[in-house]
Amino acid sequence: MSNFLQEIFTLITTPPGNLTYYLVVAFSIVGACALLIYRQSLAPSIENRRAILALAVIIVLWGIMFVLAGLSWQGLVDERLIMPPLDRAVTLLSVILFAWMWLFPRSAKIADAGAWLLGLLVGVLYVFSMIWWAEQGGAIYFAGTWPDLVVGVAAIAVLVIASVLLFRGKPNNYGIGFGMLLLLLAGFVAYLLLLPIASDYAAPVRLAQMAAFPLLFALPLRFTQVLPQVKAGLQPPAPQRRTHGIDPALVEQFLALGTQTDPNKITQAITRTVANAVPAEVCLLISTQDDQANLTVYGGYDVVRERYLDGVSLRSQSAPAVAAALQEGLPQSLSPADASPDLAALSKALNLGPGGYLLCAPILSEQGETLAGLILLSPYTRKGFTAEEQATLASFTHPLAQLLQRIQVLATARSEPPVSTGVQPPAPALSEMEALALAGVVYGGIGDGDSTTFYGYGPGETLSQDETGYFEAELRLALEEIARLKGSLSDADQQLLVLKKQMDTAHLSTDQNQALLATIQELRQTMSAVVGYTDFLLNESVGILGSLQRRFLERVKISTERMNRLVEDLVQITSVKDGRRLIQFAPVDFNEIVAEAIANTEDQRLEKNITLHLDLPQEISPIHTDRVALQQVLTNLLENAGDVTPADDEITLRNILQRDDFDRKFFLIQISDSGGGIPVGDMPRVFSRTARGQSQPIPGVGASHNNLYIVKRLVDALEGRIWVDSEADLGSTFSILLPVSPEASHDDGSGGPPA
């Protein structure tokens, strides 16, 4: 047996027998690469492309070896000088690439960088070994030298690590790759055990390569099998997927997304429309973060359960196939047999059934940048997606890319004007405006049963010159009307301030009170009309707005909303004068009031990147108070804290349940800012009505000083107490003590610090 092996070793290490070795290796590598190229032509994928790249590098290296072996056989080159170091370098580099292909079929930054680094180290090793071998002058055999031992030990280390990782991961058809790595490992171990050998080449390693390399033909089985479509007559018809019709109202909602900036509504409309159109059981809208380390699922729609799915965030490592598809801008499909953890990660995050098929289609801009991605899942029927369904999904990506880009531009334009503090949600628009916008009948509208037109214009139609001039004239008139209304609102603002001063110095009669309330009601209607028409113009329903025009309209809207806040404050001031109160005590949910106040001041915190910390009890009993008044108190205090808190700092809102000596319950509400504190000498002026008229502002208090006076009056009307504590160079804490039940403070009003 020893002589037989010796003859085999001699045959594969000396010409012309070694050409057989090169032919077997070349046939295996080229054949596997050809299969992958054919597969890539049927269904492009990232896995195929990475494997083709690695095999192409190996083919080039072994091609050079094959050519040099043929030249040395003809005596044209010095075989002993060139071939041994090159043989070891190519062998080690091939081992690294094989391990990389089997372990990391999809993009993995750390693994890819490690493979590049090892390749560079192999190149450096080849240069040094070539220089050292040239100095030896062929006096010794290359087998057993230090470069040979380094290559052998390094190859064994790579193969052992790769085999362990492959066995632990157990991906699809991992046994073939595991067997290939074990064969190569056995060849290197046998070679080191047989040293010293009177030869320049590692014969056991070459024999192991001839046995292992043909297993590369099974490399395409490592990935999901994709077969070309065949005629229906050659196979029994597959079970039909349940189809879903598209609701006309859903189409109208989808078409109206061009002016929508609410992420939840955008996600719901897109995913529901796509899921019903393909059809698919589950559709998700997903995107990568700027750092490429996280995946954000904005939301989705479950057709089977007929419910929307909430958004989640995933690490890119938990869904590598989807992350790679979005980064590379290529479609991706997965089956339950695949080794990728994408299906399991998405199913667990969204509480869906295990398994099923996955289809991912990136949404690309015209520049080739990935805007987002659509994912289809089949967790219930576990059926794959047909070519027709894949084509339907692909047809959505281009119009969705244009839609998302338009939404981004609209959101950017709306964020240009500085957001004024103290802005509540916009007042309700006129009912006529809502009807026009929802029905889509402005200048043509959407016809009954016609979902292919929008505002009277079909796909590809453009406005004529006369129509363009008409719309420009209408827009000009609307802007002039807005400017006139803004002037009227400015005058009304001055009148309201005068009324406030008069109300503080004189009592109002019943007739005066009714007249004031009637005036306030008219102001509300006027401001609602202004907000409604402004929103209508901002939606570009009657023409495209320029950036300057949009900015002016945004300022008009913000000013109008500010006026609405002043009117509400005026109503509260009027209601608490001399016992004539419109305060209505009723059980309310304190957490809901806090949520409304937080929403009203969210824009201010986002603009300054301020963090709001909440310290609220998980279970809290209802409080008997006036809902509107308490909400205004919290909103004004949060706005004041946002005014004085520097950017990138924090605000704290806490609620503590306390009891007095008579076992009466009180809520201690505290709002702390980071505004540097209020000087001791200015503390008496904080809740003063005249604070706004001071020539010098109060440090640590926001610009709207008079709002704190309103807060004080409202807290008094709610039978509570308010005070402020300040720490120099740190910040202030406004504390409110409110009885859980209004009768709790009827006795003596004790239970808290003095105001």
pLDDT band at 238 (very low <50, low <70, confident <90, very high): very low
Is 135 contained in some domain? Answer: yes
| Any domain includes 708 | yes
Query: Which residue is associated with the tokens 């719309």?
Result: 471
Q: What is the pLDDT of residue 400?
A: 84
Residues 175-234: tens digit of each pLDDT: 888 888 999 999 999 888 887 778 888 888 988 888 888 888 887 776 544 444 433 344
Closest C-alpha to 180, from 165, 162, 168, 198: 162
Asked if 26 and 62 count as a contact pair (C-beta separation under 8 A), the reply is yes
Of 553, 575, 597, the last residue of a domain is 575
Query: Which of 412, 413, 426 lies closest to 552, judged by CA?
Result: 413
Residue 227 lies in a domain: no
Give Cβ neighbours of residue 222 (< 8 Å, ≥ 6 apart): 47, 102, 105, 171, 172, 173, 176, 177
**Domain assignment present for 627:** yes
Report the distance separating Cα 692 and Cα 294, nearest Å: 48
pLDDT band at 430 (very low <50, low <70, confident <90, very high): very low
Q: Give the per-residue SS3 of 549-587.
A: HHHHHHHHHHHHHHHHHHHHHHHHHHHCECCECCCCCEE
Whole-angstrom Cα distance, residue 143 to residue 506?
110
Kindly state whether residues 301 and 358 are assigned to the same domain: yes
The answer to whether residues 597 and 696 belong to one domain is yes
Measured CA to CA, the distance from residue 50 to residue 105 in angstroms comes to 7
* The predicted structure's pLDDT at residue 488: 64
211: in domain: yes
Whole-number pLDDT of residue 562? 63
Strand partners, 618: none
Q: Which comes out higher in pLDDT, residue 485 or 650? A: 650
CATH number for the domain spanning 679: value is 3.30.565.10
> Does pLDDT of 355 surpass 80?
no
3-class secondary-structure state, position 453? coil
* Residue 630 and residue 546 share a domain: no
Tokens in use for 261?
């900036």
Q: Are residues 377 and 500 in the same domain?
A: no
Boundary (domain end) residue, out of 207, 222, 237: 222
Gap between the Cα atoms of 275 and 389, Å rounded: 11
What is the model's pLDDT at position 691? Answer: 40
d(CA 65, CA 88): 11
Q: Note whether residue 292 is domain-resident.
A: yes
Position 423 in a domain: no
Tell me: do 441 and 409 sit in the same domain: no
- The last residue of one of the domains, among 222, 256, 289, is 222
Confidence of residue 120 (pLDDT cuts 50, 70, 90): very high
Cross-strand pairs, 577: 580
390 has pLDDT over 50: yes
CA 378 remoteness from chain centre: 23
- For the chain, the average pLDDT equals 76
Position 512 scores a pLDDT of: 57
Q: Give the pLDDT confidence score for residue 218 in this predicted structure.
A: 81
Q: What percent of the chain has pLDDT over 90?
A: 13
* Amino acid identity, position 528: S
- Going from the C-alpha of 647 to that of each of 421, 601, 606, 613, 650, the distances in angstroms are 14, 15, 10, 15, 8
Write down the pLDDT at residue 283. Answer: 92
Residues 212 and 325 in one domain: no
271 backbone φψ class: left, alpha, beta (φ>0; ψ -120 to 50): alpha
Whether residues 488 and 521 share a domain: the answer is: yes
Domain that includes residue 295, residue range:
248-414
Distances (CA, A) of 55 to 33, 69, 102, 248: 6, 20, 12, 52
Q: Is a pLDDT exceeding 70 seen at residue 623?
A: yes
- Greater pLDDT, 497 or 667: 667
If pLDDT is split at 50, 70 and 90, which confidence band does 688 have? confident
pLDDT in tens, 516-571: 666 666 676 677 667 767 776 777 665 676 777 776 777 676 667 667 666 666 66
Does residue 708 register a pLDDT over 70? Answer: yes
Cα 5 to Cα 9, 335, 355, 502, 743: the distances in Å are: 6, 45, 50, 113, 103
| The three-state (H, E, C) secondary structure of 320-367, written as one string | HHHHHHHHHCCCEEECCCCCCCHHHHHHHHHCCCCCCCEEEEEEECCC
Question: Are 382 and 334 in the same domain?
Answer: yes
Task: For residue 645, tell me if it sits in a domain.
Answer: yes
Question: 31 and 102 share a domain?
Answer: yes
Query: Among 383-392, 441-450, 628-637, which range has the highest average pLDDT?
Result: 628-637
Write down the pLDDT at residue 225.
Answer: 45
Is 50 exceeded by the pLDDT of residue 74? yes
Mean pLDDT of 71-93: 86
- Alpha-carbon distance 33 to 63, whole Å? 14
Confidence category of residue 62, pLDDT binned at 50, 70, 90: confident
Indicate whether 456 and 404 sit together in one domain: no
Phi then psi dihedrals of residue 105, to 5 deg: -70, -20
> Stretch 266-279: mean pLDDT, rounded?
86
For residue 652, list its beta bridge partners. 613, 672
CB atoms within 10 A of CB 497: 14
| Residues 738 and 606 occupy one common structural domain | yes
Q: Distance between CA atoms of 169 and 106, rounded to whole angstroms?
A: 14
Q: How many domains does the chain have?
A: 4
| pLDDT tens readout for residues 442-501 | 333 333 334 333 334 444 445 555 556 666 666 666 666 666 666 666 666 666 666 656
Q: What's the CATH number where 15 sits?
A: 1.20.1070
Reference 529, options 432, 425, 414; nearest CA is 432
560-605 pLDDT tens trace:
766 766 666 666 555 554 444 457 788 998 888 998 888 888 878 8
Tens of pLDDT, residue by residue over 223-234, are 544 444 433 344
Parallel, antiparallel or unpaired: strands 282-288 and 370-377 = antiparallel
DSSP 8-state symbol, 467: H
Inter-residue contact 248 to 275 (CB < 8 Å): no
Residue 590 shares a structural domain with residue 571: no
Residue with more model confidence, 630 or 422? 630
